[in-house]
């Protein structure tokens, strides 16, 4: 799921859809009443505070921090966090940029990635966000296999019990562990 910043009146809906995690891209502290609601409902709050893209150039701080974006994508892709809600303030620029980078990890064409970004950003689409998405190096994102570690990952992989994305993550884990 993706959205703008959830308000107090949105919280019952978030409970109803059975979220396991909320991934917030805002650098500001989360409202205490929402934090309490999440804790009471077993919803994990993950914060990767990142400033939005500012200008279409190479100035320091003009683009979102690539390491923070990669970490946010790793949490977004981690099935232990699903179902997850990704949001920033308006759900357009930072969220759109992260989703665009996610689509690159998922091997979408840039045309499709940009179309989805524009569909959600509407008249507020920013060229600088599209540039960030295009230039983002997906190799920064380390995929984690779901609930299968070490030899269990190898067994699940050998028996075709994983999706392609899970297989890629398991292969990386197996290589990292030297199995």
Q: Which residues are catalytic?
A: 88
- Nearest Cα to 27, choosing from 78, 73, 94, 92? 94
Give the helix ranges, DSSP H, for 54-140.
66-77, 93-105, 110-121, 127-135
Cis peptide before 83 (omega within 30 of 0): yes
Lateral strand order in the sheet of 2-3: 2-3, 84-87, 21-24, 44-47
What is the rounded distance in angstroms from the CA atom of residue 163 to the CA atom of residue 43?
Answer: 26
Asked if residues 86 and 4 have their Cβ atoms less than 8 Å apart, the reply is no
């Amino acid at each position: 799921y993706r959205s703008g910043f959830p308000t107090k009146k949105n919280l019952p809906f978030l409970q109803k859809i059975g979220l396991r995690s909320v991934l917030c891209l805002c650098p500001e502290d989360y409202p205490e009443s929402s934090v309490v609601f999440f804790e009471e409902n077993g919803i994990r709050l993950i914060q990767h505070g990142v400033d939005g893209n500012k200008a279409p150039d190479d100035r320091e701080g003009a683009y979102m921090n690539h390491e923070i974006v990669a970490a946010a994508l790793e949490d977004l892709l981690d099935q232990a966090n699903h179902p997850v809600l990704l949001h920033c303030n308006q759900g357009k620029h930072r969220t759109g940029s992260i989703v665009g980078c996610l689509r690159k990890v998922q091997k979408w064409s840039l045309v499709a990635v940009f179309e989805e970004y524009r569909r959600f950003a509407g008249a507020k689409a920013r060229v600088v966000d599209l540039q960030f998405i295009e230039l983002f190096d997906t190799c920064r994102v380390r995929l984690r296999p779901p609930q299968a570690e070490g030899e269990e990952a190898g067994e699940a992989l050998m028996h075709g019990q994983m999706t392609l994305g899970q297989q890629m993550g398991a292969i990386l884990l197996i290589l990292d562990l030297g199995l």
